[in-house]
Amino acid sequence: MTRPMLLLVLAILLLVAVPLSLLAGQVWIDPFGSPVRNAVPILAELRAPRVALALIIGGGLGAAGAAMQGYLRNPLADPGLFGIAPLAALGAVLSFFTGLAVQPWALPGFAFAGAALAMVLLALISGGGGLGRGVTLFTLTGMMIASLAGALTSLVISLSPNPFALSEIVTWLMGALENRSWHEVVLSAPPTLIGLALLWRAGPSLDALTLGEAAARSLGVVPGRLQALMVLGVGLIVGSGVAAAGIIGFVGLIVPHMLRPLTDQRPSALIMPSALAGALLVLIADSLCRLFPLAGGELRLGIALSLVGAPFFLLLLLRLRRELV
């Protein structure tokens, strides 16, 4: 499939999915049927921000995943590998732990601070990005940050001062778009859009990296500049995503993986289609969570995506293994 064709198909699917998602829910709104009570506030205050947030977060994660796989030259890479999401989550968890989360600015502020700290650590430890010590050291640094942030998050949970904070933390960590308002949309849209623009700029350099680091440098790629684009781009996207919705996994891993065979396989050709498909995936998953609530409330989006994503990914791997055999 050519790239414009793929983008067109995804855009059409989104154009169909967005209005459907706005109308669907526990209260169905039929635009041609009899008027529904409170239809306007339901649409404007509950569903529209939720749909907007699904598009922003899904789009960002899809694009970040495609860029990460290109940067690490590995189809199994995911935006979480830089350690930015776990550290942003640690920041958010600390806001619950300290009780500051009741302030509207505290949770996103702490999450962004965590994401920024991860970016600074990445730059400090693996900075320079000279030939040979670039990407591997960088990935290891990200994994160590992720693992340290995970341990610290567990520590904070175990030291949690009261059951209320504990339950807040655990629920929040699972990731969801439930009860989000325009406040979260305004908060996450600008950083995500800037992040998307930075990753778009990184596209040609990621293409050159297909040939390995030495050949990429000989084609004019400056490793330090590319690394900065990646850290800032992925950091802004993942940081704002975690700040608005908690940890949402699998989107950045699965979406580029599914789309790659439909493109010419260059990383740059995958970034924008992955943004559209990521938006579509999160939108559909969130709508399904809303449509089919469990006895105790809605299924958390993070759990739903992992429940669907992990088996799906296993199937992909099984197919891959058959092809290799």
Please report, as residue ranges, which positions from 252 to 281 form the binding site for another protein (by CB under 8 A).
Answer: 260, 264-267
Helix axis angle, 267-291 to 301-324, nearest 10°: 130
Q: Which is nearer to another protein, 179 or 218 (CB)?
A: 218
- Is residue 129 within the footprint of another protein (CB under 8 A)? no
Pair of tokens at residue 64: 């970040």
- For the CB of residue 323, give the shortest distance to another protein in the complex, in Å: 11
- Is residue 5 within the footprint of another protein (CB under 8 A)? no
- For the CB of residue 224, give the shortest distance to another protein in the complex, in Å: 11
Please report, as residue ranges, which positions from 47 to 76 form the binding site for another protein (by CB under 8 A).
Answer: 73-74
- For the CB of residue 208, give the shortest distance to another protein in the complex, in Å: 5
Measured torsion, CA atoms of residues 160, 108, 224, 82, in degrees rounded to the nearest 10 = 40
- Ordered alpha helix ranges (H), 159-212: 163-173, 182-209
- Ordered alpha helix ranges (H), 175-300: 182-209, 213-218, 223-245, 251-259, 267-291
Q: Which is nearer to another protein, 109 or 204 (CB)?
A: 204
152 membership: H or E segment, kind and range: helix 135-158
Please report, as residue ranges, which positions from 159 to 218 form the binding site for another protein (by CB under 8 A).
Answer: 204, 207-212, 214-215, 217-218
Rounded Cα–Cα distance for residues 235 and 142 (Å): 12
- For the CB of residue 251, give the shortest distance to another protein in the complex, in Å: 21
- Is residue 220 within the footprint of another protein (CB under 8 A)? yes
* 275, 61 contact by CB (below 8 A): no
Q: Which is nearer to another protein, 73 or 258 (CB)?
A: 73
- For the CB of residue 176, give the shortest distance to another protein in the complex, in Å: 34
* 57, 246 contact by CB (below 8 A): no
Options 76, 219, 315, 317; binder of another protein; rule CB under 8 A: 219
- For the CB of residue 214, give the shortest distance to another protein in the complex, in Å: 4
Backbone phi, psi, residue 297, to 5°:
130, -170
Q: Which is nearer to another protein, 127 or 204 (CB)?
A: 204
Dihedral-angle region of residue 36 (phi above 0 means left; psi in -120 to 50 means alpha; beta otherwise): beta
- For the CB of residue 229, give the shortest distance to another protein in the complex, in Å: 15
Number of residues this chain uses to bind another protein (CB under 8 A): 23
Q: Which is nearer to another protein, 58 or 134 (CB)?
A: 134
Q: Which is nearer to another protein, 175 or 203 (CB)?
A: 203
- For residue 58, what are the CA distances in angstroms to 105, 248, 279? 23, 9, 4
Q: Which is nearer to another protein, 128 or 161 (CB)?
A: 128
Pair of tokens at residue 277: 């498909």
Other CB atoms closer than 10 Å to residue 117's CB: what's the count? Answer: 18
Footprint on this chain of another protein (rule: CB under 8 A) = 73-74, 131, 204, 207-212, 214-215, 217-222, 260, 264-267
